[in-house]
Amino acid sequence: MLQVNGINVFYGNIQALHDVSIHVEEGEIVTLIGANGAGKSTLLKTLSGLLKPKTGEIMYLGKPIHGKAAQTIVKDGMSHVPEGRRVFANLTVEENLELGAYIRSDKAGIAKDMAHVYELFPRLLERKKQLSGTLSGGEQQMLAMGRALMAKPKILLMDEPSMGLAPLMVKAIFDIIKMVNAEGTTVLLVEQNAHMALSVASRAYVLETGRIVLSGDAQQLKESDEVRAAYLGGL
């Protein structure tokens, strides 16, 4: 579904990604783990068209997208849940969800998907007329996910969904990631909570200072001494 071949990405003169290659098959949950500053968010921003690679290629559904604008990539079926949630604080929950569907014109389909988002996140239904800036961090994360789902994506890019959340809320968010995937949406997950990420993913990549240093079956990486020592607190 998604094939990234040797991309190099720069911020000015500083190279953030070095010859990064990954692939994601349809229906998978693939996770990218790594320390802060490893380049995980940069990779997602490059995939969704917010940054352009200097060299290398990004193939999505068999076609190159590395020169495309971000809004075109959304139309192609790729949605990005950004780090830090980035909800529109001065708009209501419902207005945020409506904005997620801005590329669509099928009113009946939008209404159906809105109802489904409220099924996935009952708390959003309770707060649909509330300004999203007044929601808790966990509720804002639910809203950011719901907003991305309103674009009816084939693949969902998720950047640090557990950041700053209480353990119970983290579990709830990851349960929903599994549910969304079971309903047919492919997921590429960037996550600092390596234990949670590796427990839901089928495959994983480890990114260090802009380079892929390890990749493979998520369960095998979870049991690897190197990954345990670096990312799982020696568990």
For residue 16 the two structure tokens come to 């953030």
**Range 97-122 average pLDDT:** 91
What pLDDT is attached to residue 233?
Answer: 64
CA atoms within a 13 Å half-sphere pointing along the CA-CB vector of 145: 30
Instruction: Please report the pLDDT score of residue 200 as a whole number.
Output: 94
Domains defined for the chain, CATH in brackets: 2-88+152-231 (3.40.50.300)
pLDDT score, position 235 = 46
Give 129-157 pLDDT, tens digit per residue.
999 889 988 889 889 989 999 999 999 99
**pTM value > 0.85:** yes
What gap in Å lies between CA 143 and CA 132, rounded to an integer? 8
> Where residue 59 falls among pLDDT bands split at 50, 70, 90?
very high
DSSP string, 135-174: S-HHHHHHHHHHHHHTT--SEEEEE-TTTT--HHHHHHHH
> In Å, how far are 42, 46, 68, 82, 118 from 150, measured between CA atoms?
24, 22, 21, 15, 11
The confidence score (pLDDT) of residue 170 equals 86
Is pLDDT above 50 for 80?
yes
Burial of 33 (0-12, 13-18, 19+ CB in 10 A): buried
Beta carbons of 160 and 144 less than 8 angstroms apart: no
Write the pLDDT tens digit of every residue in 185-207: 999 999 888 889 999 999 999 99
Determine contact, residues 73/124, Cβ cutoff 8 Å.
no
Share above pLDDT 70 across residues of the chain, in percent, rounded to a whole number: 98
Mean pLDDT of 97-110: 90
Percent of the chain whose pLDDT exceeds 90: 67
The predicted-structure confidence for 151-184, as pLDDT tens digits, reads as follows 999 999 999 888 888 888 888 889 989 999 999 9
Over residues 51-59, the mean pLDDT reads 96
Instruction: Summarize the confidence of residues 206-234 as an average pLDDT.
Output: 87
For the chain, give the mean pLDDT.
91
pLDDT of 226 reads 85
